[in-house]
Amino acid sequence: MKKITLVLVAMFGMAMAASAQYTGKKFFDNWSIGVEGGVSTNLHDWNTPNGGVAGINFTKGITPVLSLEFQLQAGFNDNTNWNWATKSANVVDNASVFANTKVNLMNWFGGYKGAPRFFEIQARGGVGYTRFFWPSYEGITTESSNDLNRCMFKFGLDFDFNLGEKKAWTVSLRPAVILKTSRDNDPIRYSGEGMPVVCDGEGAYSDNAIGQITAGVTYHFKTSNGNHYFTEVKPVEVTKVVEKVVEKPVEKVVEKVVEKVVTKNVSGVTVEFAQNKATLSNTAKAKLNTIEKGTTVCIDGFASPEGAKAYNQKLSQRRCDAVKAYLEERGVKIADVNAHGAAGQESQRVVYVSIK
């Protein structure tokens, strides 16, 4: 039981995670109403006649994968009232209400494509309550024979065909199995000829497993996003925050390109840095080691154009400071240090060391 519970919780979490990517998630969004009709039959006693069933469904989409369904059904001539001399006084032989959870298997395993597919398969399971209305027949006059209430479990599949350009209508085929919670207290069973026989309670059997197949039509109401289904959120391009501690919101650099051409000085070295870094690599140190002790140099630091202008200026300054500190330890004289930030759209993550 513990493992099953963990699996169900994981499935629910995965289904709910999809909601973060789609619009149309307000309470009154993604509701639908459907009608269905079909037949049901007792699965363990095939001599018992089949019966008709009709219902209405209200469904709320939580994510493209997960939805909740509230279902009302009525049974006609369902295992109790078929070609007997004395008919039931009720048109409806049983009434049921179910609360179901539905999982769209196509969207779960194949991913949601931004709109419903033409054909989809949904798994459905839930719990419900059923009230049976028994017919009056020879000798069946006890109070317990007039009606019987049961808790029921329902499991099935929905084979859905989403129609139209707007996908507002769905036609479905819905096979299901319904399980009763008890067995030995039905007041009626059936003979081989399909006739009712009064039982004393002990040894009497009920229709514990019922097979059902229905066909239905569903209408999906329009949502706040103007469609009849979840709409995929388009990713929004934002400026990347490269500072470890953001002092203020990073503003996108909007400025004219600085007409300043930075060329590599042939009398010196070029030190390259990783993105958003001011740490000297082993390769950079090897280049700086080629400058002899006592040499006088000028240092110019730059940054690439990503990020905010103020941050790029600070980053180029830190790169200059790293080069300066390393050269001074080796006895190199520093004549001038200039941090330029991002000098144009083609600026690189470099520091130029020029020998005077």
170-181 pLDDT, tens digit per residue, is 999 999 998 877
Does position 150 have pLDDT exceeding 50, yes or no? Answer: yes
Let me know whether 209 and 337 are in one domain: no
User: Quick check: is 277 in a domain?
Assistant: yes
Let me know whether 189 and 49 are in one domain: yes
Let me know whether 227 and 315 are in one domain: no
How far apart are the C-alpha atoms of 328 and 316, rounded to whole Å?
Answer: 18
Long-range Cβ pairs for the range 138-146 (8 Å, 24+): 138/86, 139/198, 140/187, 140/188, 140/196, 140/198, 142/187, 144/185, 144/187, 145/187, 145/188, 145/198
Instruction: Encode pLDDT of 207-252 as tens digits.
Output: 478 889 999 999 999 888 788 888 764 443 333 433 443 344 444 4
Considering only CA atoms, which of 227, 229, 226, 252 is closest in space to residue 239? 252
Domains of the chain: total: 2
- CATH number of the domain within which 300 lies: 3.30.1330.60
Does position 260 have pLDDT exceeding 50, yes or no? Answer: no
Q: What is the pLDDT of residue 92?
A: 80
Return the percent helix, strand and coil in the chain, to nearest 5: 15, 40, 45
Q: What is the pLDDT of residue 321?
A: 95
Rounded average pLDDT over 201-208: 47
Q: What is the pLDDT of residue 41?
A: 81
- CATH number of the domain within which 213 lies: 2.40.160.20
Let me know whether 26 and 84 are in one domain: yes
Alpha-carbon distances of 53 from 16, 40, 46, 206, rounded to whole Å? 33, 7, 17, 19
Does position 198 have pLDDT exceeding 50, yes or no? Answer: no
User: Quick check: is 259 in a domain?
Assistant: no
- Percentage of the chain with pLDDT > 90? 40
Does position 145 have pLDDT exceeding 60, yes or no? Answer: no
Least confident of 161-165, 188-192, 259-263: 259-263
Domain span including residue 202: 2-232
Does position 317 have pLDDT exceeding 80, yes or no? Answer: yes
User: Quick check: is 243 in a domain?
Assistant: no
Q: What is the pLDDT of residue 276?
A: 87
Would you tell me how many other CB atoms lie within 10 Å of the CB of residue 128?
19
Let me know whether 118 and 169 are in one domain: yes
Q: What tokens does 5 get?
A: 């519970």
Does position 101 have pLDDT exceeding 90, yes or no? Answer: yes
Model-level pTM? 0.54
Would you tell me how many other CB atoms lie within 10 Å of the CB of residue 27?
7
Let me know whether 277 and 225 are in one domain: no
